[in-house]
Chain A
Amino acid sequence: MNLHYLGAELFHRPRRSLAAFLSMTLGVALLLSLQAYSNGYRLAARAPLAEIGADIAAQRQGKVPQAFEGILFPHSTAPIHSDEIDAMRRIPGVEDVGESVFFWDFEKSGFLVVLGLDPSSNTGPARLKSAVLQGRFLREGDRDFAVADATFGRSKNLSPGSKISVAGRPFELVGLVDTSRIGQVANANIYIMVDEARALAHAAKNVMAVHDFRPTDANIVFIKANQAKVESVAKAVGSVLGSQALISSSQTFRDVIGQAYGLVDRFSWLVGLAGLLIAVVGLVRSISSALRERRRDIGLMRAVGWSRGDVWTQLTGEAVSLAAAGSLAGLVLSVLVSRILSLLRVSIPVPWELSPTPHFLPGGATPMAVSISLSARIDLLPAALAIGLAVLCGLVVGLWISLRATRIRPAEVLRSE
């Protein structure tokens, strides 16, 4: 293949080259941009749970409290027994399990949302250890210590060293944390050690009146799973918890994002490939018209001694070069489009059950949502696939055109009459 001749043909026939180049550019850009958009939403759907280092939140629907006094479990946080948690740990694909005890505390002095957590865990609200604004976070072995949500703490004039009462038991505040760092999942006013939360719940008469809560139980379990198995793990966890299971995963968030995303997610490859197909049709039309324009040149090639292989290589090289250049430009364009898409913010609704607040309290029924930037990035694999596919299409088109070209009879096209 002669690169100089190739360059001259592409450069000196700008309309034809530009048409083929632009159709490949737009085809590849459409394919990759749709992928980036779809990926962005997929990542966004993972965000609420990913912010607390989990892929799945497991809860169980239970009975509604009978009396709003002392410690209560919201009806979406019925007990999950320790044998059930052990069964979850054994599910293939489960990498880590974080246990929490979530409860409301109605006291004469006011209302509290309390969460018991294991500070040594990296899965679940213990991730708040990286969101300490003042003082310190809870540590293993702590007793009668608590940390407070910074907004709640400020509203109550709390600071490290302050005392706070949970179900009549005093706790010393050791730190203030920025709860917004873990999105809207399992938000609480006060965080205490999980064993102390268990003991308090087990001793609460309004809990025990409607639930069989044992001292080793939890009522929200956070699960980190192998990314390839998240959905199968979620299904298995649901089976462990039975018909009252409340399972949240990226899939459940995707379901609530809406139909528009669902369509994009389902059909992004299809629409993208259709775009690429249209681009290939553009390439075929452009190169076919070039073939008509260049019949004499091709006849001349054969007349002055080019073999059929030489003609094939030259014409295929031109088609492949156009496809490669167009697809690389498409990649650049799709990176620009993905940057623009990344300026969009996506609001992911968080179900009430994941961070329950009594409906009758101010703001208790307000729908919650996590607002995050759409992380629409171009992944290496789809980019390589799209460019590879475009170049392959260029190769096929080039070979087809070359085959037609070698059927041209030089004596016919070089006649002067």
Chain B
Amino acid sequence: MNELLKCIDLCKSFGRLEVVRGVNLSLPERSFSAIMGRSGSGKTTLLHLISALEAPTSGSLYFAGEQISALNEDRLALWRRQHIGLVFQAFHLVATLSALENVAFPLYPMKLRPEERRELARARLEQVGLGHRLEHRPSRLSGGEQQRVAIARALINRPTLILADEPTGNLDKKNGEEILDLFKKLNEVGGVAVIVVTHDSEVAAVAKHSFTMVDGRLEEGST
């Protein structure tokens, strides 16, 4: 399979604090990877480097052969919109918008007709089993439902790579398992590459590749 993501000697420091130290990583298309590690090990920062939400202090990031770390902020935003789906532990849904509007949120700056946008969002919500909760605002959805909305939002642009930061961290066991099943299905059936950052070994067990962050360094395999 073709290489999708490549990190070469990726480093990130905040002042004197080195959080990510010389990470080298190569992932193929359609892969499902888990990055484990304790709190403060640097795994979320690595995820932010991969999604280009943070700029590396040194090193390079390549996505489908293109050097991402050389792009400016607006080009990076466009790149994320075209290729990356982001899922957060705290869901980060916009409180004033309905489930449907939250899913359509990444499309707002695009020149699409409102009906077209709604139709795309509806299809994604149906894909994650929330076709019956379109007009509900986040405050009226359960934690599991909110995370499904967030996943539908991550899928709205048909991304090549989904980056999920502790996606089951705020969910109970049952909802957590459902979300993991959803990621598996997206990976196996939809062909979307997935990187999940977690400290939960059960989550990591679902992945095909496992890595562990220890003091900012990435090691292959789970501990």
Contact = CB atoms under 8 A, between A and B. Distances in A.
B108 A306 contact: yes
A223 B89 CA distance: 82
B77 interface: yes
A95 interface: no
A289 to B, nearest CB: 15
A303 B44 contact: no
Interface in B44-81: 44-45, 48, 51, 53-54, 73-74, 77-78, 80-81
Given A411-B53, A414-B53, A303 B80 contact: yes
A305 B165 contact: no
Given A12-B95, A411-B53, A417-B44, A308 B73 contact: yes
A310 B73 CA distance: 13
Given A5-B101, A416-B165, A305 B109 contact: yes
Contacts of B96: 8-9, 11-13
B86 interface: yes
A302 interface: yes
A307 interface: yes
Given A300-B94, A414-B92, A4 B101 contact: yes
A307 to B, nearest CB: 4
B77 A306 contact: yes
Contacts of B131: none
B78 A414 contact: no
Contact of A304 (B86, B89, B90): B86
A410 interface: yes
Interface size class of A (residues with CB under 8 A): 20 to 34
Contact of A416 (B45, B109, B166): B166
B90 A416 contact: yes
A309 interface: yes
B101 A416 contact: no
A415 interface: yes
A316 to B, nearest CB: 14
A4 B90 contact: no
Nearest to A5: B108
Contact of A309 (B48, B74, B86, B89): B74
A66 interface: no
A8 B105 contact: no
A89 interface: no
A307 B74 CA distance: 5
A297 interface: yes
A409 B52 CA distance: 11
B54 A411 contact: yes
A303 B108 contact: no
B94 A2 contact: no
Given A8-B96, A9-B96, A414-B88, A304 B101 contact: no
Contacts of B82: 305
Interface in A260-317: 296-297, 299-310, 314
Contacts of A300: 92, 94, 105
Nearest to A9: B96
Given A5-B108, A296-B92, A416-B165, A307 B78 contact: yes
Nearest to A303: B86
B109 to A, nearest CB: 4
A410 B76 CA distance: 13
With most chain B CB atoms within 10 A of its CB, the pick from A296, A299, A309, A411 is A411
B22 interface: no
A9 to B, nearest CB: 5
Interface string B94-114: 111100010001101100001
Contact of B80 (A8, A297, A304, A310): A304
Contacts of A305: 77-78, 80-82, 106, 109, 157
A304 B169 contact: no
A410 B106 CA distance: 15
A306 B106 CA distance: 7
Contacts of A9: 96
B26 interface: no
7 contacts: A12-B137, A300-B92, A305-B109, A306-B108, A411-B48, A416-B90, A416-B169
Interface of A: 2, 4-5, 8-9, 11-13, 296-297, 299-310, 314, 409-411, 414-417
Interface of B: 39, 44-45, 48, 51, 53-54, 73-74, 77-78, 80-82, 86, 88-90, 92, 94-97, 101, 105-106, 108-109, 114, 137, 153, 157, 165-166, 169
Given A300-B105, A303-B51, A411-B53, 20 more contacts: A2-B108, A4-B101, A5-B94, A9-B96, A296-B92, A300-B94, A302-B77, A304-B80, A304-B81, A305-B109, A305-B157, A307-B78, A310-B108, A411-B45, A411-B48, A414-B88, A414-B90, A416-B88, A416-B90, A417-B39
